[in-house]
A and B are shown apart, each in its own frame.
Chain A
Amino acid sequence: MALSTSTAPSANPFAVFGSLTFTQRRKLFLAALAMPALIYVLLLGVYPLVKGIWYSLYDYNLIKPARTQFIGIDNYRELFIDSDMRQALLNTVVFTLGSVFFELVLGFVIALALWRDELFNRICLTLILIPVTITPLVVGLIFKGLLLADYGLVGYYLAQWGISDPRGLFASPDTALATLIFIDVWEWTPLVALILLAGLKALPTDILEAASVDGANPLRVFRSITLPLMLPSVLLALTIRSIDAFRVFDSVFVTTGGGPGNATNTLMVYAVKEGLSFFNIGKASAIANVSLLCTAMIAAGLIFLIRHYDKKASIR
C-alpha cells in the first residue's frame, strides 16, 4: 500500500501517538475500528456457541436441576441410536436436496428469461422478489390457509378431487415434507434467480456473440459456453441456499410443527422442541451442534468447489 511509505503530517491531533510512525498509527487506528465488532461477536456469539458445546456434555435439564452432571459424549451417543434423530436428519437432508434442486432449475430458467435488459424485465424482477421480503412465518401461514382441506382456496379442491389426503396435504406423512419443499421453493427461487441473473449479466458477451455469429445453435451455446461459465454463480447460489435450507425452522414450525408423527421434523425443530419446550438443554445442545457441524461441512465443501472453479476460470 502506498500509505505505508508516506510520513506523518506534522500537525497531528493524536499527539499521544507522536512517537509512533504513520504505519504504526494506521495499524492502531484500523485495529481500533475492527475491535468493537470483533469483541461483540466473540462475547455474544462465539461464547454462547462454545458454552453450547459445554452444555452438550452434560445431563442438564432445567426442570430437574438436581440431576445435572457431566456425562461426556453420552448425549451424542444417544443421538446416534435415537430413531427420532435419524428421522430428523433424513428429513433435513431430503428437504435441503429437494428444495435446492428445484430452486436452482426454476431459478435458472427465470434468470434466462430476465436476461435481456428491458423495462418489462426490470419491473418483473422487482415484483418477483416480494416473497423474499415477506416474514417466513407469514409465508407459512399463507400456505397453511390456502391448503386447508375444509375451506382453503386450493386445499379444498385438492381434497375434493382426491389429489391430497382428505385432511389436507400437511396431514399426510406422504405429502407433508414435499409441501414444505414447495413452500421453500416459492419463497427462495426469486433469490436464486437474482443471483444467477447477476452471474449472467457478468458473462463476457463477446464470446457468446462470437459463438452465435459462427452459427452455433442457441442450445449448443448454452450447453458449451453459458453453463460452464455460469458454474461459479450456480455454486454460489447452491451454497447460500443449501446452508439456509439446512437450517429451516420457521415454515416447518408454523405449518406442521414437525408432524404428522415426525414426518417433517427437522434438526432445528427437533433442537428447539427439546431445548426450549422440554428444557432438555444437554440433548438440545447436542442436536444443535450436529446441525452446526453439518452446516460447516456443507459450507466448507462448497467453498472449496467455488475456489477450485474460480482458479480454473481465471486460467482460461
Chain B
Amino acid sequence: MNRQIALNSARRGFLLFMLAFFILPFLWLATTAYKPSTDIFSIPPQLGFRPTLAQFTKALTIFDVPALVRSSIYIAGGSMILSLLLGVPAGYALARSSHRFAMALAYFFMSIRMVPAVAALIPFYLLMRDIGLVGHWFSVVLINCVLNTAFVSYMMYSYFRALPPEMEEAALTDGCTQFTAFWRVSLPAVRSGIVASSLFCVLFSWNDFLFAMFLTRLDSKPISVALLSAYGTKDITWGTLGALAHFSTIPIVLMVLALNRHFVQGLTKGVH
C-alpha cells in the first residue's frame, strides 16, 4: 500500500511540475506588465518588483487600444457568425444525407482546414486588391471564414451524426416542415457542438495574425498585428508589450476557462 501512495504522490508531483512548466512563461509576460521599467532591465534579472500600473497607461497612450480591440472583435465575431450560418446547416445536411457525395464533401471540408495558409493568402490578397477590399477588416473575415466554415461543417457533421435521427423523423411524420424539424428539433440537441464551434471560430480568428497583417491597414488592424508592430519599436519596453498582450490573451483565456467543458469536448471530438 505504501508503494501505491508513493507512486501517487510522484504522479501528482510530476503533474504540478508540468503545470508550472506550461503556465509560468505565460505568467511571466503577464506580470511584466506590472513592473516598472527599471526592474525589467535590471541586470542580473530578478523576480521581485514594485508593482505599478504605469505600463498600462503607457500602452493606452501609445496605442488606440479600444480601436484595436474593436477590430479584433469585428474580425472574430464576424467570422464566427458567418461560419456558423454557413457551416451548421452544411454539417446537418452532410450527416443526414445518404448520398455518396456527402462523405466525400465531409472529407473535403476537413482537408481544407489543413491547407497551408500562405497558399491561399497570396492569390486571396490579389483578389481582394482587385475588388478593393484590402485594408478593410471584412477581407480578414472573408478569408478566416473559408477555414472556419470548413471546420464548422466538419465539426457539426460529427455532432449531428452522433444524434439519433428518430426525433426528427417523428417530428416530420407529425407534419413538421423539414426546416422546422432541423431548426426546432435537431439544432437544440447539438447546442454543445454549436458552443464549441463558436469558441473555436473565435479562437482561430482572434489569434490569427498572418491574414490580418497583410489584409488590414493602420486604421483597421486588430490587436495581434499591433503586438507584432509594437515589438522592436525603440520606446516600447517589454512592460508595455505585456500590458498590450493582456488585451489580446486575457479575454480568450477567460473565455476558454469559462467554457472549458465545451472546449475540451470540441478538441477531442471535432478536431478530427
Contact = CB atoms under 8 A, between A and B. Distances in A.
Interface in A244-284: 246-247, 249-250, 253-254, 267-268, 271-272, 275-276, 281, 284
Q: Chain A contact residues: over half helix, strand or loop, or mixed?
A: helix
B149 to A, nearest CB: 5
Contact of B122 (A52, A138, A296): A52
B45 A6 contact: no
Interface-central residue, B12, B150, B272, by most chain A CB under 10 Å:
B272
A152 interface: yes
Q: Chain B contact residues: over half helix, strand or loop, or mixed?
A: helix
A27 B87 contact: no
A41 to B, nearest CB: 6
Contacts of B105: 34, 38
A45 B120 contact: yes
Given A136-B207, A284-B122, A33 B19 contact: no
Contacts of A20: none
Interface stretch (B59-67, B169-177, B188-196): B169-177
B167 to A, nearest CB: 12
B260 interface: yes
Nearest to A183: B25
Contact of A1 (B150, B165, B252, B253): B165
Interface-central residue, A41, A132, A271, A296, by most chain B CB under 10 Å:
A41
Interface-central residue, A2, A3, A142, by most chain B CB under 10 Å:
A142
A126 B19 CA distance: 10
Query: Chain B interface: which size bin?
Result: 35 or more
B27 to A, nearest CB: 10
B93 interface: yes
B116 A295 contact: yes
Contacts, number: 265
B265 to A, nearest CB: 9
Interface in B89-105: 89-90, 92-94, 96-99, 102, 105
A130 B267 contact: no
Contacts of A38: 90, 105
A141 B227 contact: yes
A254 B231 contact: yes
Interface stretch (A68-76, A94-102, A187-195, A208-216): A187-195
A61 to B, nearest CB: 12
Interface in B224-272: 224, 227-228, 231, 238, 241, 245, 248-249, 252-253, 256-257, 260, 263-264, 267-268, 271-272
B119 A128 contact: no
A299 B96 CA distance: 26
A240 B267 CA distance: 11
B153 A37 contact: yes
A132 B199 CA distance: 13
B22 A36 contact: no
A196 to B, nearest CB: 10
Contacts of B90: 33-34, 36-38
Given A55-B123, A135-B206, A247-B116, A2 B249 contact: no
Interface in B127-153: 127, 142-143, 145-147, 149-150, 153
Which 10 residue pairs are nearest across A and B when measured between Cβ atoms? A37-B90, A48-B123, A33-B89, A34-B93, A288-B119, A198-B268, A45-B146, A51-B123, A33-B93, A30-B93
14 contacts: A38-B90, A129-B264, A131-B26, A135-B206, A136-B207, A142-B29, A144-B231, A145-B28, A146-B28, A153-B45, A194-B264, A272-B118, A285-B119, A295-B114
